[in-house]
């Protein structure tokens, strides 16, 4: 198992509230879930390499070269590289990471108390963050490119009835401004000639996710969003290369989906090995 960071667990480290939709393994957050899960996983025999950054991959030949110089050869490959948060790519976004750009409304809500906050995005994650922060912040402004918002109707109704939440649909944040930390955002509304600035001390960015398929581009068949296309056995267009979890599941990215598709791929591989 090759993991590019220093720890396994992927997105589980970003779940600060209770883990939903995984029956039988209740956990009050992703780290707790991971601990319980890891107890079982460590009973299995396998090699785990953390800090394993891929230099190149030849999927047909099943050969992986790591940046550290090691070369690995295998019979099958399972791609389980997941997704990452999409970034805005605007000035200020990188500069103010950890200095006003809020990682999670759920984790950081107490630290946000008394601050005016801007949430960027219009889906469930953006709406959920806005609603959570509205309990602690004097004002929450939600800026969404789309109209109507993509968030589920119950969230939209709650947003509309929360008196401290303002929604700017059909608008984009073009810059995040400040000195030592975030002091304002620049917002451009559809049809306006110029953006306007709004004072905020916190920004939450929730504009969706994108799949980690860059190392496999040109070899794996990907859909228009970059997700791996798989068969019902979770095999990709390359024989004996499988893709499981969020990287091949834009529709219902869940832990149970990742575990289930992993089980399918593992069964198929085992049955082929055992002839
Ligand atoms: C805030 C939040 C709340 C959530 N809440 C829930 C919930 O309540 N219930 C639920 O079922 N799901 C929830 N999810 C979704 C769930 O976390 C994911 O569906 C699940 O983690 C997907 O697992 P995965 O293994 O496919 O991918 P990931 O968890 O994304 O893991 C992918 C791993 O691959 C590594 N990787 C990426 N590229 C490379 C590379 N080139 N080389 C080596 N390693 C690489 C990454 O570092 C990462 O460790 C939540 C997600 C978030 C962000």
Per residue in 100-156, pLDDT tens? 999 999 899 889 999 999 999 999 999 999 999 999 999 999 999 999 999 999 999
Q: What is the mean pLDDT of the chain?
A: 96
Percent of the chain whose predicted confidence (pLDDT) is above 90: 93
Model confidence at 40: pLDDT above 90? no
Work out the pLDDT band at 45, boundaries 50, 70, 90: confident
Least Cα distance to 165 among 184, 138, 192, 189 occurs for 138
| Segment 162-187 mean pLDDT | 97
Residue 244 · residue 254 · CB < 8 Å: no
Model confidence at 80: pLDDT above 90? yes
Residue 159 · residue 165 · CB < 8 Å: yes
Model confidence at 173: pLDDT above 90? yes
State the distance from the centre of ligand 1 to the C-alpha of 11, rounded, in angstroms: 4
Q: Is the CB of 226 under 6 A from ligand 1?
A: no
Work out the pLDDT band at 214, boundaries 50, 70, 90: very high
Convert 106-119 to b/e letters by CB count within 10 Å (16 or more is b): eebbeebeebbbbb
Ligand 1 atom closest to 12 (CA):
17
State the distance from the centre of ligand 1 to the C-alpha of 163, rounded, in angstroms: 34
Q: Which two tokens stand for residue 123?
A: 């889906």
Q: Is the CB of 256 under 6 A from ligand 1?
A: yes
Q: Residue 38: its pLDDT value, please? A: 87
Q: Residue 159: its pLDDT value, please? A: 97
Model confidence at 255: pLDDT above 90? yes
């Amino acid at each position: 198992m090759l993991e590019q960071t220093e720890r396994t667990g992927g997105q589980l480290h970003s779940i600060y509230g209770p883990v939903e939709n995984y029956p039988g393994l209740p956990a009050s957050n992703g780290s707790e879930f991971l601990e319980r899960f890891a107890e079982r996983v460590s009973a299995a025999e396998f090699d785990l390499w953390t800090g394993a950054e891929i230099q190149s991959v030849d999927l047909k030949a099943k050969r992986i070269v790591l940046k550290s110089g090691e070369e690995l050869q295998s019979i099958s490959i399972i791609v389980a590289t997941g997704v990452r948060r999409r970034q805005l790519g605007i000035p200020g976004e990188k500069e103010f990471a950890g200095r006003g750009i809020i990682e999670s409304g759920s984790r950081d809500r107490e630290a946000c108390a008394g601050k005016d906050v801007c949430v960027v995005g219009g889906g469930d994650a953006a709406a959920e963050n806005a609603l959570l922060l509205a309990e602690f912040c004097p004002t929450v402004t939600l800026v969404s490119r789309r109209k109507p918002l993509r968030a589920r109707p119950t969230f939209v109704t709650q947003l509309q009835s929360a008196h401290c939440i303002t929604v700017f649909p059909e608008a984009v944040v073009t810059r995040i401004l400040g000195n030592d930390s975030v002091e304002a955002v620049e917002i451009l509304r559809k049809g306006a000639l110029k953006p306007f600035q709004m004072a905020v001390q916190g920004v939450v960015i929730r504009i969706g996710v994108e799949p980690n398929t860059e190392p496999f581009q040109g070899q794996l068949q990907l859909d228009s969003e970059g997700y791996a296309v798989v068969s019902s056995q979770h095999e990709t267009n390359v024989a004996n290369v499988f893709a499981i979890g969020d990287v091949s599941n834009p529709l219902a990215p869940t832990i149970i989906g990742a575990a289930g598709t992993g089980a399918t791929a593992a069964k198929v591989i085992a049955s082929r090995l055992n002839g």
